[in-house]
Amino acid sequence: MSEEKELKKRKINEKLEHKVKLVEKRDRMLIKDRSSERAVLEEVFDKSTLMTIYDFMNKHVIDEIFGVVKAGKEARVYWGKDFEGKEIAIKIYLTVSAEFKRGKLPYIIADPRFANVKRDTRSLVYAWAQKEFKNLELCCKAGVRVPKPIAVRNNVLVMEFIGKNGVSAPLMREVQLSNPERTYKQLITYLKRLYRKARLVHGDISEYNIMIWRGKPVLIDVSQAVPLEHPNSETFLLRDLKNLNRYFKRLGVEIIPIEELYRRVTGVHSKHVH
């Protein structure tokens, strides 16, 4: 290896170590229970995850990682920047999440796209990251506003950051909508495009999985979205529609009856709507 290549590799390694230290410092500030601190840090930055991040930095997908913007039991989302200075979101799924296999298995095993995935937790986590990336791609092509996918490998997903200067856009439940009726209609349009163009059902529509950015809704956490071929797709869709109506009815919006709403989204009538 030439001295120039060796120097470049050493600089990238030093930069990665520096970024990880910054992230770990931010993590420690977020963890109140010190006894669990080391365990949580190791869950996120195990050797495999570090190598994946290193690979993304080497390929100029990620330049900087600053800190956690969302921390959950199954994944963490970090704010970062690419080599052009654009803000990105880096979602890292925890490969040892105890609840992951039980909670996600029904969404994966019946998805024909992942029929041959192994049942061990790590394989399922990797498949879940791939699933979210593919779903984001389908959403974008269908004209549904979601974070644009950039790259995925193993348990690390890189996508567009929804927000500015490291501050995430608020969730729908956190804001007072200036025009709830318009937002309601926009979300119905999204579900219609998802169903008819992307051939997907979101499966977890709620005020917790919708951001409001620049006055418009943005669907997030689309990893659990299933294709129409999934045996539970209709059940999931009806649940989405009921959740949507429940929330906007509380805001005083004149909601569309479920039967009619189902027809508008799918284009057909259902015997199971009640």
Domain boundaries defined on the chain: 3-167, 169-266
Query: What is the structure's pLDDT at 80?
Result: 93
Please give the Cα distance from 87 to 163 (Å, whole number).
9
What is the 8-class DSSP label of residue 59? T
Please give the Cα distance from 209 to 160 (Å, whole number).
16
Average pLDDT rounded to a whole number, residues 179-203: 97
Q: What is the pLDDT of residues 200-244, one digit of tens each?
A: 999 999 999 999 999 999 999 898 899 998 888 999 999 999 999
CA torsion through residues 168, 169, 172, 174, sign: positive
For the annotated catalytic residues, the residue numbers are 204, 221
Q: What is the pLDDT of residues 20-77, one digit of tens each?
A: 555 554 444 444 444 444 444 455 677 888 889 989 999 999 998 888 888 877 889 9
Residue 64 C-beta-side C-alpha neighbours within 13 Å: 12
Q: Does domain 3-167 have CATH number 3.30.200.20?
A: yes
Identify the architecture of domain 169-266 in CATH: Orthogonal Bundle (1.10)
- Does pLDDT of 125 surpass 50? yes
Query: What is the structure's pLDDT at 109?
Result: 65
